[in-house]
Each structure stands twice: as C-alpha cells, then as structure tokens.
A = this chain, B = another copy of it.
Amino acid sequence: MGDDISSALGRATIDDVAREAGVSTATVSRALRNHAYVAESTRRKVLQAADRLLYVANSNAARLASGQTRTVGLLAPLLTSWYTSEVVAGVEEVFAHARYDLLIGTANPLAREKIFRGDARFQQRIDGVILVDVFCSEDGARQLATLDTPAIVLGERLKSVTSVSVDNARGARLAARHLIDLGHRRIGLVGGHAHLDVVHNVPTERAAGFAAALEAAGLRLPHQFVEDGDFSIEGGRRAMHALMSRTKPPTAVWLMSDEMCFGALQALRELKLVAGRDVSVIGFDDHPASNAFGLTTIRQPVRDIGRLGARLMLDQLEGFGTVMHHPIELNLVERITCGPPPG
C-alpha cells in the first residue's frame, strides 16, 4: 500500500531525528549540514536516523532561521525568447545541483530602475541576482556593485560587476568577413530594438563591429541597407522584404539573430528567391531549428553562458570570486544559406 510511507511522509521533524539518533537537535542540524566538530560516528548515526524517517528539512524554517534565502533572482527583459529560456535552463541546471532556487522576474527597460534601486519585493527574497540581457552599462553596474547583493551580468562586458558575454564585435566581424570573402560588396544588416528609448548595447556593438569590418574591406554600409527586425521572426520577415524592395538590393544580409533569419528566409521564399544563391543570409545564435533551415550562422553557446553565470554566482555567494569579465567563444557554422553573389 505504501501507507507507511505516506504517513511518515513529510512529517518527520528535526526533533524526531534527534530522538531517533539519541542526540540533540543542534547536533542533527550540524551533522546534516556538514559542519565541522561533529564526530564521524555521530554523523553516521544521524544520517541513518534521518534516512530511516525519510527526513527532509523544511526549507522555510531553515531559511527563516538562517536568514539565507538560498534563492537567487534572475531578471531578463523577456522570458519567452529562445535565447533567454536557454540561458535559464543553463542556470537552473547548475542551481538544482547546488540546491538553490531560482526566482524569475521580467525586467522591461522601465522596470530596470527598480532593480538597481533594489526592488523590495525582489530583493528581500534573494541572496543574489543574475541579470540577463538587461542593458546595464558601467553606470548601472557601479550602482549594482554598491548594493550589498552579489550580482552577475550576462551578455555584457563590465568592469564593476562580474560579467559573461561573447565578444559581439568579433561575432560581427566573423559574419562580415564571411560575406566579404564570398565576394559580396552590397551587404545589408538587420538589428533590433532600435526603437527603444533605452540604448541596448548588444545590437549597438554588433552594428559597430559590422560596419567597421566592412569599412576595413573598403565597403560601406549605407543606411538603406540597415533595417530593424525587432529580434523576432516576423520582424525578420518584414526587414528582409524591406531590403529586397530597394532599387539595388543587397546581395547578402546579416541578421543579428537566427529567429530573424527564419522570417527572412520566409520572405525570400515569398519573393521566389533562393537563399544562398540569389541572396546570402547569415545569422547569429545557432538556434536548434537553424540546422533544419540550413542556416549559416555565428554560433554562441547560450546554455554554457547560463551555466557559467550560475557557477560564478555560487562562487560569489560563498565569498570566492573576484569581479571580472568572462569572455565566451564564438564560431562560424557554415551551412547553405550563404554563397557567392549571383552573376
């Protein structure tokens, strides 16, 4: 029946264990939390007693007593994107092992203020905070650093706060060089978030890097070859249609995310154009569906970013960890949406 199980279930308290093991509750607590100054024999007795009673510590009581929440907050502008959920998955993976909880919050640009000032609702329940893809800049970082909360920023290179990010300029250069090497001269660019009043420096860095790489090859990036794709599939589609409607459209386009590329490929199909032959398309991310699309792209190991971020947070929570930036590798994945310019 398993009634024995259910009845014992979730009911054993630390006192029960203490009684069962014949020691005090304090000793049980220490033994279970691997404190020093517990005799090996005692520890074993306690562990066995706990096992016998199926004891699981009540985390609420533990947190209340210790003042530690064992929870870290994660803030991201939007949680539904592939990028974010992948980062979250990486973070969660590491935290699950460390028995930390993740409290997830959305941070639209306007809510950012609150975070830095320390949104009480959030702040009080967490031991630390991970910001993903929240534009924060050195000013914000400095503010963040003055808060007593451990913080780490994902997706941006910072000095005052531990951060993890790819080298966006390098990614842009990789994409540009690939297109240039294939012989393209008329090259377009699709970014996003340009309409936000807040400057988001990821697209900015990428755009700058891209323009610089073109320039280095003696090429220009005319503004009519630049579109905002909103980092969405539909936005990518619209952007590609716009670019293709130019009198002399680009022969190759870099879109700053694979999802925008999906929309762009749709647009090309609608225009009866073949990607990689009539127009070259290169992305950024290496989304799981990109392989199926045959999309050439700049791969970034998103989940790894999440994992690393979580580990850095753990280090910081334990008092290790110095403030520094951790760069993440980027590499070109060639598939079939890029080729030499037509004709």
Question: Interface residues, chain A, CB within 8 Å of chain B?
Answer: 2, 5-6, 9-10, 54, 56, 58-61, 63-64, 69, 79-80, 85, 89, 92, 101, 103-104, 117-118, 120-121, 123-125, 147-148, 233, 237, 259, 262-263, 265-266, 269, 288-289, 291-294
Could you tell me if A266 and B291 are in contact, using CB atoms closer than 8 angstroms?
A: yes
Could you tell me if B89 and A5 are in contact, using CB atoms closer than 8 angstroms?
A: no
Could you tell me if B266 and A10 are in contact, using CB atoms closer than 8 angstroms?
A: no
Contact among B54, B59, B125, B262 with A289 in the assembled complex (CB-CB below 8 Å): B262
- The interface residues of chain B lying within 8 Å CB-to-CB of A266 are 291-294
- The interface residues of chain B lying within 8 Å CB-to-CB of A291 are 233, 266
| A interface SS class | helix
- The interface residues of chain B lying within 8 Å CB-to-CB of A233 are 288-289, 291-292
Could you tell me if A125 and B59 are in contact, using CB atoms closer than 8 angstroms?
A: yes
User: Complex Cα distance A2/B9, Å?
Assistant: 47
- The interface residues of chain B lying within 8 Å CB-to-CB of A63 are 60
28 contacts between A and B (CB under 8 A): A5-B117, A6-B118, A6-B147, A9-B120, A9-B123, A10-B123, A10-B124, A56-B120, A58-B64, A59-B125, A60-B60, A60-B61, A60-B64, A60-B69, A61-B64, A79-B89, A80-B89, A85-B85, A233-B291, A233-B292, A237-B292, A259-B289, A262-B289, A262-B292, A262-B293, A265-B292, A266-B292, A293-B293
Given pairs A6-B147, A56-B124, 19 additional interface contacts (CB within 8 A): A5-B117, A6-B117, A9-B118, A9-B120, A9-B123, A10-B120, A10-B124, A56-B120, A56-B121, A60-B63, A92-B104, A101-B103, A233-B292, A237-B292, A259-B289, A262-B292, A262-B293, A263-B292, A266-B294
Greatest chain B CB density within 10 A among A54, A61, A64, A269 is at A64
Task: With both chains docked as a complex, state the minimum distance between the C-beta of A4 and any C-beta of chain B, in angstroms.
Answer: 11
- The interface residues of chain B lying within 8 Å CB-to-CB of A123 are 9-10
